[in-house]
């Protein structure tokens, strides 16, 4: 109980600190920072130690089983992957919403370069998070009124980078074993290495850890059915990503061309229509699997494709580095050293690592990916 009280005290300080930061930044930011701090404080206040949930006779049997699995996955993360052994993911919070928060992502009308926002701790990132969907939608409408392309996407989990103890959440606790493990490994990886303002580096690193971690998890504790299900999931994910990368590159080439604004708008509409049509074909090949339908729930925009580069451009380089270092501790140490380099140099090193490990045709696309830095 003393540890929980300490966390709540720290949360109150965070609430006060972010409110002060908002006031220094200007009145326009006060409401945003307040909802962020209040949302985080509410999250911690609602969480209870997993042991309390497991010791409560009223805890639902299904939830009990998922929490026990999460405890096992958490121990695996420390023992097998060398991820932080701290208080993160040792509490659980039941939320009355499908996502913990909603991210607003935006780009200019004829660009794939995401607008960035800068915050305490996280630095500059290509999204703006809200704990209330209505608030996210309202801000998205403001950006659309300014002429930007905008996407509002639900987020099941995120990391406070080790500053606080992140809880397990009802928004992802019922994922399959492999998916639950993937989520925990990814978020814990952010506590190992995180560079403020370099989302491409951070997300690709965490994705490399999650991939290798799940492979190891399934090797040790999976059964044939679990492995086959994850192979199907990974295959669909790879195909869907390839579909997005293909059309993202088409848009990138279009925006870099000397075509008129009118022509670019027409071609943009055609490319997004083709993306939807090709997804329908892909979905049919999957036997009707609808796991990616949510991506198409709103009108497609550049913002839908902006994050593709964030999570995947540098991923082949991290995969190659992990293969080279052969184990997680050495891999983490190498990534730490790389994180001290200037942004351009560390990105170039990862591209070169990928080039050394991949066939020539696989590196051409990586070289053509556009810069995703931007600002507002």
Domain boundary among 29, 46, 63: 46
Angle made by CA atoms 352, 358, 362, in degrees to the nearest 5: 95
Assess if residue 104 is contained within a domain. no
Alpha helices in the chain (DSSP H): 2-25, 27-46, 50-55, 61-81, 133-145, 177-189, 199-221, 224-256, 261-285, 302-312, 315-325, 328-339, 343-357, 360-368
Assess if residue 194 is contained within a domain. no
Tens of pLDDT, residue by residue over 290-322, are 999 999 988 999 999 988 877 888 999 999 999
The SS3 of residue 103 is strand
Assess if residue 139 is contained within a domain. no
- As a whole number of angstroms, the distance between CA 225 and CA 95 comes to 30
Assess if residue 247 is contained within a domain. yes
Structure confidence at residue 358 as a pLDDT band (50, 70, 90): low
Which residues constitute the domain of residue 12?
1-46
pLDDT at 75 > cutoff 60: yes
Q: Which residue has the tokens 């190659």?
A: 320
pLDDT at 13 > cutoff 90: no
Assess if residue 362 is contained within a domain. yes
Share of the chain above pLDDT 70, in %: 87
Assess if residue 145 is contained within a domain. no
Assess if residue 176 is contained within a domain. no
pLDDT at 368 > cutoff 80: no
| Per-residue pLDDT, 371 | 40
Assess if residue 211 is contained within a domain. no
Tens of pLDDT, residue by residue over 135-192, are 999 999 999 999 999 999 999 998 888 888 899 999 999 999 999 999 999 999 999 9
How many domains are there within the chain?
Answer: 2
């Amino acid at each position: 109980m003393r540890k929980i009280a300490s966390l709540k005290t720290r949360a109150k300080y965070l609430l006060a600190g972010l409110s002060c930061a908002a006031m220094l930044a200007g009145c326009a930011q006060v409401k945003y920072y307040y909802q962020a701090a209040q949302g985080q404080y509410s999250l911690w206040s609602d969480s209870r130690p997993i042991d309390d949930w497991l010791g409560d006779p009223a805890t639902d049997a299904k939830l009990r089983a998922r929490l026990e699995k999460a405890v096992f996955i958490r121990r695996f993360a420390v023992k097998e992957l060398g991820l932080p052994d701290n208080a993160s993911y040792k509490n659980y919070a039941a939320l009355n919403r499908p996502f913990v928060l909603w991210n607003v992502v935006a780009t200019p009308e004829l660009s794939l370069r995401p607008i960035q926002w800068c915050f305490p701790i996280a630095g500059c990132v290509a999204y703006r998070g809200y704990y209330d969907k209505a608030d996210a939608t309202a801000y998205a409408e403001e950006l659309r009124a300014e002429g930007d392309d905008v996407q509002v996407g639900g987020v099941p989990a995120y990391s406070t980078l080790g500053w606080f103890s992140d809880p397990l959440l009802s928004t992802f606790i019922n994922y399959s074993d492999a998916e639950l493990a993937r989520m925990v490994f990814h978020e814990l990886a952010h506590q190992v290495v995180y560079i403020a303002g370099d989302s491409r580096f951070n997300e690709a690193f965490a994705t490399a850890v999650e991939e290798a971690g799940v492979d190891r998890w399934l090797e040790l504790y999976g059964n044939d059915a679990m492995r086959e299900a994850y192979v199907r999931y990974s295959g669909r994910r790879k195909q869907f990503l390839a579909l997005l990368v293909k059309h993202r590159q088409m848009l990138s080439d279009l925006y870099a061309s000397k075509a008129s604004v009118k022509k670019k708008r027409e071609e943009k509409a055609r490319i997004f229509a083709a993306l939807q049509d090709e997804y329908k074909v892909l979905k049919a090949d999957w036997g009707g699997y609808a796991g990616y339908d949510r991506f198409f729930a709103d009108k497609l925009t550049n913002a839908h494709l902006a994050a593709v580069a964030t999570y995947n451009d540098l991923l082949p380089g991290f995969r190659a580095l992990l293969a080279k270092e052969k184990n997680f501790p050495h891999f983490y140490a190498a990534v730490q050293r790389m994180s001290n380099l200037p942004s351009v140099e560390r990105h170039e090193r990862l591209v070169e690592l990928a080039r050394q490990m991949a066939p020539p045709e696989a590196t051409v696309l990586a070289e053509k990916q556009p810069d995703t830095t931007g600002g507002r």
